[in-house]
């Protein structure tokens, strides 16, 4: 049993992860930007550089999931700053407070994204040793990971999961992909040949638990299912599962760019990402392919 402090504990991933950690007997607390008196909830504020000292001092592990949603709003200059600061400033604050209050922390496990490799569609299968891309999402991931890797400097085991598109029963990307198909207006996006590196929410949460409970896990891992899917093939599989036809041609890229601006690149481009490194450690996916995942998710 361990005492685990979670940032981003009220989000899609955080809620499920906290539930599963508690089911395994761990003591779970969350950091919140809201001041309230809920049990095991502690206040923090990056603008005032404040974290409840008790939250840090009592933690055996910290799981850092906090960060503004990449696709929640169009990318204005201010929004870009918010996306970076919500990840980097929070990690920096945690690092400084751990040095001050809990230098014997056993582990720091943090999120990153497969966007590290760049928004591009190619035949390459990217692994953890490949260089970062040069676009905005890559920039976010690079500075995000740099902030998290500071914990290595004070001899705290650090793990980073570069996360793919998370599929869950309620909320998340699958719901957004399924809705137009349910309404009879589903279609592949752009060329449809871009890959969507994905992962079932349960598998992702189990990966974090695996990192907590196995001290040999350290460094950077891709958090994606081993199956490679294009946008076109995924759309067809979802439609078949829902027993809905796909009458429409692909939605042209320019339409998505008009709707989403520069943010459209995250759905119009995508390459294959390898999950071999995490599997080589002994981690087992419960949902290695989309058909098995959809049995639980739809």
pLDDT at 37: 63
Of 221, 27, 262, the closest CA to residue 109 belongs to 221
User: Within 13 A of 174's CA, how many CA atoms are on the CB side?
Assistant: 26
Structural domain for 148, as ranges: 3-297
pLDDT for residue 126: 97
For residues 107-117, average pLDDT: 96
| Contact (Cβ atoms closer than 8 angstroms) between residue 263 and residue 207 | no
Instruction: For residue 273, give the 3-state DSSP assignment.
Output: strand
Q: pLDDT grade, residue 62 (50/70/90)?
A: very high
Look at phi and psi of residue 228 and say left if phi exceeds 0, alpha if psi is from -120 to 50, else beta. beta
| pLDDT score of 252 more than 80 | no
Number of domains into which the chain is organized: 1
**What is the percent of the chain with per-residue pLDDT over 70, rounded to a whole number?**
99
CATH code of the domain containing 131: 3.40.50.720
Q: With bands split at pLDDT 50, 70 and 90, how would you rate the model's confidence at 255?
A: confident
Taking the chain, what is the end-to-end CA distance rounded to the nearest angstrom?
Answer: 34
Length of the chain: 298
pLDDT digits (tens, 9 = 90+) for 165-218: 999 988 778 888 888 888 777 888 888 899 999 999 999 999 999 999 999 999
* Amino acid 271: pLDDT: 94
CB-count exposure of residue 62 (10 Å: 0-12, 13-18, 19+): buried
Single out the residue of 261, 125, 247 nearest to residue 181, CA to CA.
Answer: 247
Question: What six digits make up the tokens of 235?
Answer: 């759309």
pLDDT exceeds 80 at position 225: yes
Averaged pLDDT score across all residues of the chain? 91
The two tokens of residue 228 are 């490679």
Greater model confidence, 71 or 84: 84
What average pLDDT does this structure show over 130-159? 95
Q: What is the pLDDT of residue 298?
A: 65
């Amino acid at each position: 049993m361990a005492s685990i402090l979670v940032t981003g504990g009220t989000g899609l991933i955080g809620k499920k992860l906290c539930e599963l950690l508690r089911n395994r007997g761990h003591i779970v607390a969350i950091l919140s930007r809201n001041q309230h008196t809920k049990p095991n909830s502690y206040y923090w504020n990056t603008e005032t550089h404040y974290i409840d000292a008790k939250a840090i001092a009592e933690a055996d592990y910290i799981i850092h999931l906090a960060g503004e949603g990449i696709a929640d709003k169009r990318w204005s200059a201010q929004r870009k700053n918010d996306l970076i600061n919500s990840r980097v400033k929070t990690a920096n604050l945690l690092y400084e407070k751990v040095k001050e209050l809990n230098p014997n922390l056993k582990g720091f496990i943090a999120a990153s994204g497969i966007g590290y490799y760049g928004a591009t569609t190619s035949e390459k299968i990217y692994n953890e040793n490949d260089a970062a891309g040069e676009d905005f999402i890559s920039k976010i991931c690079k500075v995000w990971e740099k902030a998290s890797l500071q914990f290595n400097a004070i001899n705290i085991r650090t793990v980073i999961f570069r996360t793919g598109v998370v599929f869950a029963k309620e909320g998340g990307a699958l719901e957004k992909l399924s809705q137009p198909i349910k309404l009879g207006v589903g279609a592949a996006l752009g060329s449809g040949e871009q890959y969507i590196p994905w992962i079932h929410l349960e598998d992702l949460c189990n990966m974090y638990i695996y990192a907590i409970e196995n001290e040999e896990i350290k460094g950077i891992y891709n958090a994606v299912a081993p199956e490679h899917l294009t946008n076109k093939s995924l759309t067809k599989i979802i439609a078949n599962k829902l027993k809905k036809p796909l009458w429409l041609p692909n939605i042209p890229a320019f339409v998505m760019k008009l709707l989403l601006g520069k943010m459209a690149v995250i759905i119009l481009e995508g390459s294959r990402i390898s999950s071999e490194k995490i599997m080589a450690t002994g981690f087992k996916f419960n949902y290695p392919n989309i058909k098995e995942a959809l049995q639980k998710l739809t």
